[in-house]
Structure 1
Amino acid sequence: MQPSVHVDVHELPSLAGTEPVALLPRLTSLLQDGAAVKGDTLFPRGRGLRSRYVCRGAEGFQDCIRFPDDSWLIISDFPVARTVGQRYSGEDVVKFHVKLSGVTPIGLSTQEHMVLAGPAAFIISQPLGVEKWEFVLKDNQESSVTVIYRRSHLLAWFDEQCSPMSPRLRSIIGPESAKQAACAPVHLSPMIVAVARDLLQSPYQGTLRVIHAEAKARELSCMILNQLAQGATDQVCDVVLSHRDVERLHEAKDILARNIIDPPTIDLLSRRVALNQKKLRVGFKVVFGESTFDYCQRLRMERARELLDAGETSLVRISEAVGYAYPSSFSVAFKRYYGVLPKDVRGRGRSLTPRRARSG
């Protein structure tokens, strides 16, 4: 889930006077230059390159890997010593970006700016001729994975008879979106995090490293595309979230976290954060991967478990601490969530997993 990060774009260094660069030719040039460097056996020559960074005694790296179909994978894990910005010209590309940590403000000439702050996932479409600027902010650990495709390559994956695109997916990568930039948040599922970590911590070298990277990059892309495809069935496709909307959703999440005993209703919460109820309900699910009710219930049950682990023996006190008027109602809710009654786990240090996580 994406943390609430506020960045004043007017305080970022000016990029006036800098020329926009074309990313893919730049990456190709890096590989060609790197192929002449001897002694680095991490990748076969011309297939990948590792750039190494050192900041205040901490080491880091960025891998650039090119696949046979001219798609790219960029794996970054390095400390950011200073804020750096760059302008990029539009090349009609689509990026799948998973950021485990770090802060990257971006701006597209046809869309309001956004702040990509980890942990979070995004899909970014940059059409031909649409310029993008982005910064990496200092004093952060940039840990991210980005898969880059040409739009035409992605469109070839879909067939209107066998695998048609959902309306939400079409609005981002479809032919009719070729002139409209987009940056949409994607739910950061545990499986997406696991694939990103596999790429960041790959144990392989040489050709095996490239094969492993391509397999994981495809898997990551399929997960994100599948989310966007399924989004059409839950009213996500017709809700567009701006950077300001996402900030208000984080404000709503903070309000709920502070009021688990007596959480505000959707109507009251929507008025407090100045979002309409539909955008609040659907947007909360898109950004955080769970409904407002499920979020509050999870916090209540986790708090109850903490009290039980700490040795609290009174179900009355635990019930009151998590917003239940009657211990019997709390016990039913606890069993529904964890599969066991609270009296069966008090002080035993028993490992519990929510039923939903076990079944999913």
Structure 2
Amino acid sequence: MNRGLIDARGSPCAPISVRQGRFRGASCLQDVFDDLEENPDGSVVSTLLRPSSKLIGTRQQFSSDFEAGSCGVIRLSDDLFVLNTNVSFTKGALAAVTGQDFIELHFRLSGRLSLYPEIPGNETVDVDKGALLVWRQPEGMNVMERLEANEPESSMTIYLRPSALERYFGDYTATLPSAVATGLAPQGNGLFFLRMACYPKLIELVRELWSLGIETGRDLVRGEALVMMVLCEIMSMLEDAHNDSTNICRLSDIDVRCLRKAREHICSQYTPPPTIDELAKAVGLSATKLKSGFKALFGKSISQFANELRMQHALDLLRKSDNSILFVAEALGYEYQNSFTVAFRRHFKILPKDYKRDPLILSHRR
């Protein structure tokens, strides 16, 4: 595998990467973060002074024969940064990204991220739209990033040092997978990567942060609040995955494709949902791998995911005045109306008849 960036003529050129930034031709992210106060040419910069800190935001448009797009950076502290990118490349290439000991939370909004760790035994890591990748790249360790031609890419990455997690969450190492703290896989023979799918609440927060204007100090405060909300959601996800961290790390690309196929299968059949054995056979995974992998990748169990789909469909059916509760129960695959009523009340804390009488009752309770 080629370990350097190759331009269209086949000649080596200076490393460049979406994750390295493009401000003033900086060679590494830390240079980008350190130089924010110098107001790079062509960027919009906003600052907010506080008694013991300064928030900084900057954005740059760029266009060349190789790439076109924009990058934005928010610096919340010396150990916490946000990088938003929206870019496309005219030529495909590989870019070397040198580790700087950041914990990275990468959200893929469009396009695909492909990483090639320069460690024997490490597989290619692909991250598609709607996914979250968590990893920590040790100081000096190289990872190659593939830049795809003519494929628009947008992403948001939160870069933070362990000190930032400790400042906000205390002894985070006690509740998270140990590999987050070390950057190395539990087997000790490779770089740690944790792939998760983003659920709607998290995607909404990420998109709001990605599209945030940074022209004023108030924008930066709002960005800081959104980052804290995103971090809280991710910390919760990581804590839930703590006991299954070994299984998560061993999910192959084939496993991920099978698990996504399982999710699609459930989305098309949840009234009632398929059994674990039926689903495992349909996607080509063992029942054990299916259950642990689904929870690891999507943040909830198969039964939780299917039940949420089922209950949301129940709301849609109950809003139609000509649908009786018995009809809704049968449409969702319940043998008895009472079984549906119990399930609905357990999920929403109200009875189906109360929701049917006043659909706004749920918004009043939230």
Fold shared by both chains (TM-score > 0.5): yes
Deviation at 1:171, TM superposition (A): 1.7
Aligned to 1:35: 39
Q: What is the Cα-based RMSD across aligned positions, in Å?
A: 4.2
| Structure 1: gaps spanning 5 or more residues | 1-12
3-state SS in 2 of match to 1:25:
coil
Deviations 1:197-242 (A, max 9, x none): 443344553555556545644554454345324432x434444222
Give the TM-score normalised by structure 2.
0.72
Q: Of residues 131, 135, 160 in structure 2, which corresponds to 1:124?
A: 135
1:94 aligned partner, one-letter code: I
1:52 aligns with 2:39: no
Q: Of residues 234, 243, 248 in structure 1, which corresponds to 2:258?
A: 248
**Cα 1:223–1:317 shift into 2, 3 Å:** closer
Whether contact under 8 Å (2:109, 2:153) holds in the other structure is no
Whether contact under 8 Å (2:344, 2:351) holds in the other structure is yes
Matches within 5 A, 1:204-243: 204-205=214-215, 209-210=219-220, 213=223, 216-217=226-227, 220-221=230-231, 223-232=233-242, 234-240=243-249, 241-243=251-253
Deviation at 1:273, TM superposition (A): 1.8
Whether contact under 8 Å (1:239, 1:279) holds in the other structure is no
**Cα 1:137–1:273 shift into 2, 3 Å:** farther
1:340 aligned partner, one-letter code: I
Distance 1:332 1:40 in 2: 55
**Cα 1:117–1:70 shift into 2, 3 Å:** same
3-state SS in 1 of match to 2:82:
strand
1:146 aligns with 2:157: yes
1:319 aligns with 2:323: no
**Cα 1:169–1:344 shift into 2, 3 Å:** closer
Whether contact under 8 Å (1:256, 1:264) holds in the other structure is yes
Distance 1:115 1:103 in 2: 7
1:165 aligns with 2:173: yes
Deviation at 1:82, TM superposition (A): 5.2
| Structure 2: gaps spanning 5 or more residues | 21-25, 49-53
Deviations 1:149-201 (A, max 9, x none): 457x5697699xx7262485322331765973222124635664454344334
Aligned to 1:294: 304
Aligned to 1:257: 267
Distance 2:6 2:252 in 1: 23
**Cα 1:266–1:211 shift into 2, 3 Å:** same
Aligned to 1:271: 281
Deviation at 1:18, TM superposition (A): 5.5
Which shifted more, 320-329 or 247-256?
320-329
Aligned to 2:292: 282
Distance 1:167 1:238 in 2: 17
Give the TM-score normalised by structure 1.
0.73
2:78 aligned partner, one-letter code: D
**Cα 1:223–1:39 shift into 2, 3 Å:** closer
3-state SS in 2 of match to 1:115:
strand
Matches within 5 A, 1:314-353: 314-346=324-356, 350-351=359-360, 353=362
**Cα 1:211–1:336 shift into 2, 3 Å:** closer
Highest RCO, 1 vs 2 (Cα 8 Å, sep ≥ 6)? 1
3-state SS in 1 of match to 2:123:
strand
Aligned to 2:103: 94
Deviations 1:18-69 (A, max 9, x none): 6645837344369579735378444589954312369xxxx97420244552
3-state SS in 2 of match to 1:264:
coil
